[in-house]
Amino acid sequence: MKSITRLSEHELMFQMEITKFAESVIRPRVMEMDEKEWMDPEIIKKAFELGLMGIEIPEKFGGAGGSFLMACLAVEAISKVDPSVGVLVDVQNTLVNNIFKRWANDEQKAKYFPRLAATDVASYCLTEANSGSDAFALKCKATETPDGYILNGKKVFITNAKEAQIFVVFANLNPEQGYKGITAFIVEKGTPGFSIGKKEQKLGIRASSTCEVILDNVKLPKNAMIGELGKGYKIAIETLNEGRIGIAAQMLGLAGGAFDAAFKYAGERAQFGKNINSFQAIQFQLAELAIEIETAKLMVYNAAAIKDSGEDFTKEAAMAKYHVSGVAERVASSALEVFGGYGFIKEYPAEKFYRDAKIGKLYEGTSNMQLATIYKLLEK
């Protein structure tokens, strides 16, 4: 089994370039975007210009032709500054682009890859009001017609929905077959009957849009189906395995950002006539956080490297998602305490990292679902 202990020079240089982008373009906008619950279009434009929205898309389609690990490195570096932008890039790369890469036919790749790499944000539409962890209980229905399909239903908690132009929607074409009727479809913004519903107001990652997606007699052509009829459940499961590593990378970046802020503050804040980082209690607290982040980093990089090697990575993805989301929550909480009372104030970065951290245990598979997956794989 392939594993990774250190990054290559190329990967390190790539990560440094993304860090420069995050510091120069994203950081000045973080507080305003959080307050307004809004993603600055300039950030999206710059992300496309840097090739960050098509990292694994082949170069012949305008993508960067990079690896899955590189996509995770980008998500991590961006999330150190703002996890909201991190998840925008994550969903584009680890979910939607991977679906097109693995299941789209040649015509679909030629049509959509250039757009996904250069201009169009994408969204992944699986969750419904009554099908969260039980994803295959979805009720969104697809009906076959002589010239295509008609979709009806509503999706909830859809990331990137406000900014997206391309949506991968999961609907059941043969409900009598249960989950084996679930099929994936490509729906473009502007298609009659397709609309974006309520935008959710959230505790954290507030600049990232989370909306309802409404499908009211949405007519699609035959070539809107992605993958095979009735194989949508397979696409969803396998793509979410990849996406869980991406979320782990987001949480790794968040933990790193919270730690960096706390470490810097500890070297500046004076109490009892000296900086608080001279007190052993603070030193030990920061040392323990550094250990947690390092273990999390090894799990994320290792899972991504195994995925890139072509070997099964389901267990490693679940373990990384479970462990790193917990690390992010603990680091963010402890980092806030290093700031003392100022950690509770919006002027300082600690409270935002703390709010942003909670989602890591919830989306793309709750922590309990990761534990269930891990146990099943241990039984084999």
Task: Please enumerate in sequence order all residues whose Cβ is within 8 A of that of 192, keeping only pairs 6 or more positions apart, or say none.
Answer: 218, 219
Instruction: Report the distance separating Cα 295 and Cα 277, nearest Å.
Output: 23
Which residue type sits at 67?
Answer: S
What string of DSSP letters covers 62-94? Answer: TS----HHHHHHHHHHHHTT-HHHHHHHHIIII
- Please measure the distance between the N-terminal and C-terminal CA atoms of the chain and give it in whole angstroms: 17
Nearest to 250 by CA among 35, 30, 90, 62: 90
Which residue type sits at 15?
Answer: Q
Find the catalytic residue in 23, 144, 364, 379. Answer: 364
Nearest to 196 by CA among 185, 206, 209: 209
What string of DSSP letters covers 23-44? Answer: IIIIGGGHHHHHHHT---HHHH
Burial of 215 (0-12, 13-18, 19+ CB in 10 A): buried
Reply yes or no on whether 176 is catalytic: no
Nearest to 73 by CA among 15, 4, 10, 2: 15
Based on DSSP, count helices (H) and strands (E) in the chain, helices before strands.
Answer: 12, 10
Task: Please enumerate in sequence order all residues whose Cβ is within 8 A of that of 213, keeping only pairs 6 or more positions apart, or say none.
Answer: 123, 125, 154, 155, 156, 158, 161, 167, 169, 194, 195, 196, 197
Q: Are 174 and 180 in contact (CB under 8 A)?
A: yes
User: What's the distance, CA 159 to chain centroid?
Assistant: 9
Catalytic site residues? 364
